[in-house]
Structure 1
Amino acid sequence: MNAVIDTINNRISLRKYDDKDISSEHLKIILESSIKAPTAGNMMMYSIIKITDEETKKKLSITCDNQPFIAKSKVILVFVADMQKWYDYYELCNIKNIKTPGMNDFMLSINDALIACHNAVIAAESLGIGSCYIGDIMESYEIHKDLLKLPDYTFPAAMITLGYYPNNYQRKFRERFNIDYVVFDEKYKKLDNQSLKSMFENKEQNIPKTNPYGADNFGQLIYTRKTNAEFSKEMDRSIRVAINSFTGGICDK
């Protein structure tokens, strides 16, 4: 193993942070590592909003599904899919008949933002700074748009909290699916029932005893808590509103 692989394999989602502020040197390294990320056509269709204001962190801890640890992080980074700067530049260049951004622009800028975000996560980890992805930033679109002063051709694609690991912190690694059920040769492989049972075997064995859907019904538990939960429905609504704002109403067509 080398240092990069060790960093990737040792990372966990950190929700408890040391009291020490992140040094300006380390934060600069994290941000500079972000903008070295691969980007479609070298267009860098994203912006990064750095948040240290305590009031803003508290608001985000509430709007992002009421998670108090968000407010206790030392720095929050929001990675924004951003075509606004490009379209402002096109206007500056007197481009005639500028089209409204399309779904391709939306998805490419989302990809750019996510790739840059994960560069930040790995850079931070290498410096002893833990992180946690907060997908809930995609909910409550109107609230977050106002809070972060986001123009129409942008979208908060990812958010991470940052803070140093506490001293002697005991990392707990969560088991991932076996690679055989994730990596396929040449073409997609639809898993048969036996493969699905094997894939979820470990998760089914660790179902909480308090599961109201039965000791062997992991699927119903996750469907209720995640896929069909209220936050999931709100995220779907928010993303649809955001896409309409970004593309000029493509979801209505």
Structure 2
Amino acid sequence: MTPFATAKVSAPHRLASLAEERYRDAQQQLGTDWNETVETLLSHRTVRSYLPKAVPESAIHLAVAAAQSAPSSSNLQAWSVVAVEDEARKERLNTVAGTQRQITQAPLLLVWLADLARPRNIAANQGSSAEGLDYVESFLLAVIDAALAAQNAVVALESQGLGTCYIGAIRNDPEVVARELELPEGIFPVFGLTVGYPDPAVPAAVKPRLPQTTVLHRERYDDSRRVGDLNHYNAALRGFQAEQGMPLLDWTEQVKNRIGTVEALKGRHLLKAAAHRLGFKLT
């Protein structure tokens, strides 16, 4: 029997195991159609501890190819990525992010960019004012393109045994990041991504997510299950926290703390002004 056939035989059991790990709910059904792509996606976990081992150049190129295989609005491909391996530069960027352990440890930091400089230059070379780039829609288009591309790259990297962690704190001071990376006007750093081989001595676990009944709506938005679902999720997340030796805190409390004050945004309440200074009109 081939390995694929063996996988097909055990598919329902494997999917049930993946569902229970992701949702902490044995009742969550995911069907029977297991494959290696589904395995990679459902097994995602954030990795913050890495081995001191370089990421192969071939893995970077494959990740970028996967990123470029993501959908792109109007095929504008309005994103770029900067691969940072220089330790001094990585630590300077880490200062913006609040000095995070995973940035220090990771051999590679990818900084994903909303890039409207490239289409603007193309338009200018053809005698166009490119006024369509001055609107919020174009900024959103570039940010979404960057996010779709990055997530494709994450799946490709994880399929090769690498671990990743998104770094939203790059946006704590996008102007410092822009200067460090010598970004032209019209390019905005959206987030970072640490990449490396996970340290087996510090295994990362799958963090449970909200029940599907919270996020999946049929025909119309319906939050009638909200209270019950949130109570269930608070309990599931507390179980995860206890297993990981983390402080016990309800998810609903985390949400409140993250959005409750301007200070909790850690400087990101100034992003509109920073974007203006980086060349985005956001009309």
What TM bracket, shorter-length normalisation? Answer: 0.7 to 0.9
Residues 1:3 and 2:55 aligned together: no
Q: Percent identity?
A: 22
Match of 1:43 in 2: 76
Do the aligned partners of 2:73 and 2:145 also contact (CA within 8 Å) in 1? yes
Q: Secondary structure at the match of 1:47?
A: strand
Distance verdict in 2 for CA 1:197–1:36, change over 3 Å: closer
Do the aligned partners of 1:16 and 1:166 also contact (CA within 8 Å) in 2? yes
Deviations 1:198-221 (A, max 9, x none): 35441685688x98xxx9976445
Residues 1:106 and 2:106 aligned together: no
Do the aligned partners of 1:13 and 1:132 also contact (CA within 8 Å) in 2? yes
Match of 1:156 in 2: 189
Q: Offset at 1:168? A: 6.3
Q: Quick one: which amino acid aligns to residue 93 of structure 1?
A: Q
Match of 1:181 in 2: 214
Q: Quick one: which amino acid aligns to residue 24 of structure 1?
A: E
Which ranges of structure 1 fall in alignment gaps of 5 or more residues?
Answer: none
Separation in structure 2 between the aligned mates of residue 111 and residue 164 of structure 1, nearest angstrom = 27
Distance verdict in 2 for CA 1:217–1:126, change over 3 Å: closer
Q: Quick one: which amino acid aligns to residue 46 of structure 1?
A: W
Distance verdict in 2 for CA 1:199–1:237, change over 3 Å: farther
Deviations 1:147-181 (A, max 9, x none): 12223312111210000123465331211111111
5 Å-filtered alignment, 1:87-166, equals 87-95=120-128, 97-99=129-131, 101-166=134-199
| Higher mean C-alpha deviation, range 120-129 or range 232-241 | 232-241
Do the aligned partners of 2:47 and 2:164 also contact (CA within 8 Å) in 1? yes
Distance verdict in 2 for CA 1:216–1:127, change over 3 Å: closer
Higher relative contact order (CA 8 A, sep 6+): 1
Do the aligned partners of 2:258 and 2:264 also contact (CA within 8 Å) in 1? no
Do the aligned partners of 1:45 and 1:108 also contact (CA within 8 Å) in 2? yes
Q: How many residues align?
A: 246
Separation in structure 1 between the aligned mates of residue 282 and residue 70 of structure 2, nearest angstrom = 31
Distance verdict in 2 for CA 1:36–1:218, change over 3 Å: closer
Q: Quick one: which amino acid aligns to residue 153 of structure 1?
A: G
Q: Secondary structure at the match of 1:180?
A: helix
Separation in structure 1 between the aligned mates of residue 229 and residue 43 of structure 2, nearest angstrom = 28
Distance verdict in 2 for CA 1:117–1:249, change over 3 Å: closer
Q: In structure 2, which of residues 70, 91, 102 is the aligned counterpart of residue 69 of structure 1?
A: 102
Distance verdict in 2 for CA 1:243–1:122, change over 3 Å: farther
TM superposition score normalised by structure 2: 0.77
| Higher mean C-alpha deviation, range 28-37 or range 73-82 | 28-37
Q: Quick one: which amino acid aligns to residue 208 of structure 2?
A: E
Which ranges of structure 2 fall in alignment gaps of 5 or more residues?
Answer: 1-33
Match of 2:25 in 1: none
| Higher mean C-alpha deviation, range 218-227 or range 46-55 | 218-227
Distance verdict in 2 for CA 1:216–1:2, change over 3 Å: closer
Separation in structure 2 between the aligned mates of residue 116 and residue 204 of structure 1, nearest angstrom = 29
Deviations 1:118-166 (A, max 9, x none): 0110000000010000111112122112112223312111210000123
Match of 1:230 in 2: 263
Q: In structure 2, which of residues 60, 72, 88 is the aligned counterpart of residue 27 of structure 1?
A: 60
Q: In structure 2, which of residues 111, 117, 120 is the aligned counterpart of residue 84 of structure 1?
A: 117
Distance verdict in 2 for CA 1:107–1:167, change over 3 Å: same
Separation in structure 2 between the aligned mates of residue 57 and residue 173 of structure 1, nearest angstrom = 27
TM superposition score normalised by structure 1: 0.85
Q: Offset at 1:116? A: 0.4
